[in-house]
Structure 1
């Protein structure tokens, strides 16, 4: 039986640990049992050593392994960016900065955005993820598919008191990402939001955040299991994209006028093409899912005449993360997840590629 790790005021930090790595794009994963642990004396200013207890698995982790984005990640790589755990050691403060308010033993979350300069225009406007100096967990730096991860004091997110670490992990990327995307749509209470990919890791959270924020949700996905899952969240309008004309179905459900917004978390390009056809005038297409080599083909005339808004939404900022976690901790959003061992990651990726996962997989790093 795995011994549960609890918050402590000090940690005995080992020299080696368990981690999952890959050394080349789409290459084999290695289940490391003696991967080096960064020692406290080696932490750079602003860095924090985190004892990772759980980590979610995101579609972005799959993209990093497949190498199908027009960006290069570091190699070899420890992926993962939905880590929840405890502060184990705090490095020296950055020059001229106040010491971190974090304490050893604090429950924290590791997010996709690991670090940014916090001084440029983008950072000052709350767009830290667009910072030219941004670092990303599990992409440009090693992430949370390990037991002891190095992250950054300025961007670690404090977890709400008493919120289970396993439930917090998926919120740290999937939850924050969809919460931010819904905010970008700038909707009014009662307006209609369509969520293609609603039964997936991002989608099942997007549905709940949208409902918690007072919007009417139309969910698009396929299969009886996903329909049942979404019904458990109170979704009554479900469209199976494999069984008919999606555009017609949305228009029928909205009395022929279309939706106010589409939050596309699906990873297929067709979902974007359909969304532009069922949005009503002044509707917003919020782009979240990133199909490889996907393009949005928008007719300029109708985009202008209908005053459609096409908005790319990356991950949320530090405040978005706090808000998303608070909503979940209040019981308004529940992550549907299955816990598996860290060593199951290669299998999780294969199931993710086959589109057979419902909800989220959370890996136990203990």
Structure 2
């Protein structure tokens, strides 16, 4: 058994919007304290997601547990398994900690592979302490094996951002050769959505702004770039998207942007039988769908939450085969407060991944 310290480093806040403190003497659960079904993971890298910022701010309808160790994009290795746990995992295995920490696996939602909407679901870094720490307790049945050879710093953001957009594409009712618009394509979620969509064989139209984003998205395989600032007139963006998608609009639109206008624009430019997939969570935003044209064009509006256990395995496989690679910057775990500040100012490109050990 690996040598497990009594205490280690964790980043904690005691109340929402309160100070974020680096606790270097945070208690580590010992192997004999693990309950059946629990696993102790030595977290090596952890991504930072906007959901983590929402948890700190406490601006969702249901507040997180407090005090809280946030984080839900953790990649590390199993160092202990609770007595009585039935699992194929063993010490030393590389595993991923995801947003969905646990579910009952017995309700209708779980049986249909929709574990995220299980009424008993637990979430990492929200209802349970998460991955912003060196040692985290997780549930064996919801840990995701990380493919051999995939660097853990690359795997970390796939465990939420990657799985989320991969699931959204699966929900989009598209097939290879179809047009898909990705709004917010140059962001943390969007740049991964472009790569998954390209790998699957979709024709990708990325909506964002700036020469740097255009160059970035071209390198990831986007077929067409639409700069929303260059088409900001009344209805201009809608007409441009229709034009570049065969004159009739895309088969699907996946909205990863933080701007609420993107949702209503999509309902205007989608072709008949098109699908709007809602992913991004801009605050106080409502989709205003004209009922007549929604029916007349047979449009679908789909909310896409995180993926299930199988989606996570598939999403990591794309990364292991080199088809998807997140744009990351690695920083120390202690930088979390600074990362949040930059996130709020829109100064983060791609994904920040925190290194938990020096």
Answer yes or no: same fold by TM over 0.5: yes
Structure 1 match to 2:13: 22
Unaligned ranges ≥5, structure 2: none
Is the Cα contact below 8 Å between 2:194 and 2:221 reproduced in 1?
no
TM-score (norm 2): 0.96
The answer to whether the aligner puts 1:178 opposite 2:169 as a matched pair is: no
Structure 2 match to 1:349: 340
Structure 2 match to 1:297: 288
Per the alignment, in what secondary structure is the counterpart of residue 273 of structure 2?
Answer: strand
Is the Cα contact below 8 Å between 1:226 and 1:358 reproduced in 2?
no
The answer to whether the aligner puts 1:104 opposite 2:95 as a matched pair is: no
Structure 2 match to 1:198: 185
For 1:60 and 1:342, the matched residues in 2 are separated by 17
The answer to whether the aligner puts 1:129 opposite 2:120 as a matched pair is: no
The answer to whether the aligner puts 1:252 opposite 2:243 as a matched pair is: yes
For 1:78 and 1:258, the matched residues in 2 are separated by 44
Structure 2 match to 1:261: 252
Distance 1:93 1:314, change over 3 A: farther
For 1:347 and 1:252, the matched residues in 2 are separated by 42
User: What number of residue pairs does the alignment pair up?
Assistant: 353
Deviation at 1:335, TM superposition (A): 1.1
The answer to whether the aligner puts 1:75 opposite 2:75 as a matched pair is: no
> Which is further off, 280-289 or 264-273?
264-273
> Which is further off, 239-248 or 182-191?
239-248
How is 1:1-366 mapped onto 2 (pairs within 5 angstroms)?
10-93=1-84, 99-244=86-231, 245-366=236-357
Q: Deviations over 1:260-297 (max 9, x none)?
A: 00111112211111111111110000011111222111
For 1:45 and 1:237, the matched residues in 2 are separated by 51
For 1:357 and 1:157, the matched residues in 2 are separated by 27
Deviation at 1:243, TM superposition (A): 2.5
> Which is further off, 60-69 or 141-150?
60-69
> Which is further off, 347-356 or 52-61?
347-356
Deviation at 1:69, TM superposition (A): 1.4
> Which is further off, 57-66 or 240-249?
240-249
Root-mean-square deviation (Å): 1.1
For 1:93 and 1:113, the matched residues in 2 are separated by 22
For 2:128 and 2:256, the matched residues in 1 are separated by 25
Is the Cα contact below 8 Å between 1:22 and 1:76 reproduced in 2?
yes
Structure 2 match to 1:3: none
For 1:289 and 1:277, the matched residues in 2 are separated by 18
For 1:246 and 1:25, the matched residues in 2 are separated by 38
Unaligned ranges ≥5, structure 1: 1-9
Deviation at 1:178, TM superposition (A): 0.5
Deviation at 1:186, TM superposition (A): 1.8
> Which is further off, 217-226 or 70-79?
217-226
For 1:274 and 1:350, the matched residues in 2 are separated by 30
Per the alignment, in what secondary structure is the counterpart of residue 86 of structure 1?
Answer: strand
After the TM superposition, list the runs of 4 or more consecutive aligned residues in structure 1 that deviate by more than 6 angstroms: none
